[in-house]
Chain A
């Protein structure tokens, strides 16, 4: 059976061009970048080249980039590292209700260290309002962390406006751009962000490497102490192959970004229209237009997400859901609930995220197999009474 992957928001395959660049750093170029002999120097310059390349992509300087082990570490470093280094200035942190848990749980953890937090609500599309943010800022606010694009529903936040509110109030602004990378403009000056997290495996790079952009002048405590790597802000021998792969993946993604977005948007809309035509009583979750080009998130009323995913899996289709059983907690997706979607409808959500290899034929196959699955599960559901 052919397998079809509709879960590119979870992770993406490493591109062959990326892997080719990485391979030598596992074998012949295995040296420690901190060593002074040739093996070490070659690795140091590989990291320097990667950092320069990424800096050019982000419109920042190389010194403003800290490589991390993943996107979650970048988020943790931004929040804990900044809060600890700046606690004399204030103790209030603001985030939004729909953040990835790497941000949301980290911000909540800060209350244990004496920080106060505000979790901003979102509108029905999952978007944060700059006005709400402005109202939440207090004299003791030091940090705001709001995601660029939502990983579940694909809604894109107005980052330049949100950043402007923070800049005018003299508050540091961090964005988790993990899901936005590859699809959206990452120029840090255009966005106006002070810190930004990225993760390589979301844009066809390897797992195990991320980065935090930190604007010059922003003070940050290190979370990992040890060697002096990353200018003392993140100790640990660098993941050279991963860093090289991340740089290559970002170069390729940005070069193809606009063309890829146009293709994915067309496929996405074909999928959304197809679903609406074939399945009654579904709703699109997230913003109708301000959404990632590869994200489709629908709620299918009267059925539950895990049973849907199991049926799709048996047809060779990989997708995800915001149901309790699949969200790793006992609750349905915190994102969908924050958008005001009732529990039983949140449990019936289906996220389909397309990728650079997704074809029209794959979309059409999904549109063929999904309606009978929905019909079968609805026929079993006590919530459903066919009209």
Chain B
């Protein structure tokens, strides 16, 4: 039911982990639905994302989209990163089964929350 690309990112995710001194952390999902995604970002002075990691509790699609969004966002500025949508993540994975499009395709939302957290922290420092 999953594409080869989804299975690859699910079985061999490249970006699992935490960033101890992350500049922003975002969590999306809830236990009722069975998906919780947490994205950690490291951002340089030019607002460019230099490192990104994820931790996800969830199904194959949840883990694969988490890994894919990390891959898509690395090296991008936060403005560029905010352009990434859940749909774009699904597309980069060559599609998700229809029943997964809503419940398990939240990785971009988690990323956007991490960016919001980064902006908030930065605003506080200023």
Do A302 and B59 have beta carbons less than 8 Å apart? no
Query: Which of B16, B32, B36, B60 is the one whose CB lies under 8 Å from A383?
Result: B36
Contact with A along B17-58 (1 / 0, CB 8 A): 000000000010001111111100000000000000001111
Q: Quick check: is A150 within 8 A (CB to CB) of the other chain?
A: no
Q: Which of B78-110 contact A (CB under 8 A)?
A: 100, 103-104
Query: Which of A302, A310, A332 is the one whose CB lies under 8 Å from B34?
Result: A332
Do B104 and A325 have beta carbons less than 8 Å apart? yes
- Listed by A's residue number, 28 A-B pairs whose Cβ atoms lie within 8 Å are A304-B35, A304-B57, A304-B58, A306-B59, A307-B58, A307-B60, A307-B62, A310-B7, A310-B10, A310-B60, A311-B11, A314-B11, A323-B59, A325-B103, A330-B33, A343-B31, A343-B32, A343-B34, A344-B34, A344-B36, A344-B57, A381-B55, A381-B56, A382-B36, A382-B37, A382-B55, A382-B56, A382-B57
Residues from chain A with Cβ under 8 Å of B35 in the complex: 304
Q: Quick check: is B63 within 8 A (CB to CB) of the other chain?
A: yes
In Å, the complex CA distance between A311 and B2 comes to 13
Size of B's binding interface in residues, CB under 8 A: 26
Residues from chain B with Cβ under 8 Å of A324 in the complex: 33-34, 103
Size of A's binding interface in residues, CB under 8 A: 24
Contact with B along A329-353 (1 / 0, CB 8 A): 0111000000000111001000000
Residues from chain B with Cβ under 8 Å of A307 in the complex: 10, 58-60, 62-63
**A74 CB, min distance to chain B CBs, angstroms:** 29
In Å, the complex CA distance between A288 and B115 comes to 48
The 6 A-B pairs with the shortest beta carbon distances in the complex, nearest first, are A347-B34, A344-B31, A306-B59, A382-B55, A382-B38, A325-B59
Residues from chain A with Cβ under 8 Å of B36 in the complex: 344, 382-383
Query: Which of B16, B60, B104 is the one whose CB lies under 8 Å from A379?
Result: B16
Closest to A337 in B: B32
Do B32 and A331 have beta carbons less than 8 Å apart? yes
Residues from chain B with Cβ under 8 Å of A302 in the complex: 57
In Å, the complex CA distance between A323 and B104 comes to 13
Do B13 and A380 have beta carbons less than 8 Å apart? yes
Do B32 and A304 have beta carbons less than 8 Å apart? no
Residues from chain B with Cβ under 8 Å of A331 in the complex: 32
Do B103 and A380 have beta carbons less than 8 Å apart? no
Do A380 and B31 have beta carbons less than 8 Å apart? no
Residues from chain B with Cβ under 8 Å of A311 in the complex: 11
Closest to B2 in A: A310
Closest to B11 in A: A314
Q: A325-B104, A380-B13 are in contact. Are A347 and B31 (CB under 8 A)?
A: yes
Do B27 and A382 have beta carbons less than 8 Å apart? yes
Q: Quick check: is A18 within 8 A (CB to CB) of the other chain?
A: no
Do A304 and B11 have beta carbons less than 8 Å apart? no
Closest to B35 in A: A304
Do A304 and B59 have beta carbons less than 8 Å apart? yes
Residues from chain A with Cβ under 8 Å of B63 in the complex: 307, 380
Residues from chain B with Cβ under 8 Å of A325 in the complex: 34, 59, 100, 103-104
Residues from chain B with Cβ under 8 Å of A380 in the complex: 13, 16, 55-57, 63
Residues from chain B with Cβ under 8 Å of A383 in the complex: 36, 57
Residues from chain A with Cβ under 8 Å of B58 in the complex: 304, 307
By CB atoms of chain A within 10 A, which of B13, B56, B100, B103 has the most?
A: B56
Closest to B102 in A: A330
Q: Quick check: is A303 within 8 A (CB to CB) of the other chain?
A: yes
Known: A342-B31, A343-B32, A382-B27. 20 other contacts (CB 8 A): A305-B59, A306-B59, A307-B10, A307-B58, A310-B2, A311-B11, A323-B34, A323-B59, A324-B34, A325-B34, A325-B100, A325-B103, A325-B104, A343-B31, A344-B31, A379-B16, A380-B16, A382-B55, A383-B36, A383-B57
Residues from chain A with Cβ under 8 Å of B59 in the complex: 304-307, 323, 325
In Å, the complex CA distance between A323 and B7 comes to 19
Residues from chain B with Cβ under 8 Å of A310 in the complex: 2, 7, 10, 60
In Å, the complex CA distance between A305 and B33 comes to 12
In Å, the complex CA distance between A347 and B27 comes to 18
Q: Which of A269-310 contact B (CB under 8 A)?
A: 302-307, 310
Contact with B along A13-36 (1 / 0, CB 8 A): 000000000000000000000000
Do A304 and B34 have beta carbons less than 8 Å apart? yes
In Å, the complex CA distance between A331 and B34 comes to 8
Query: Which of A303, A330, A332, A342 is the one whose CB lies under 8 Å from B57?
Result: A303
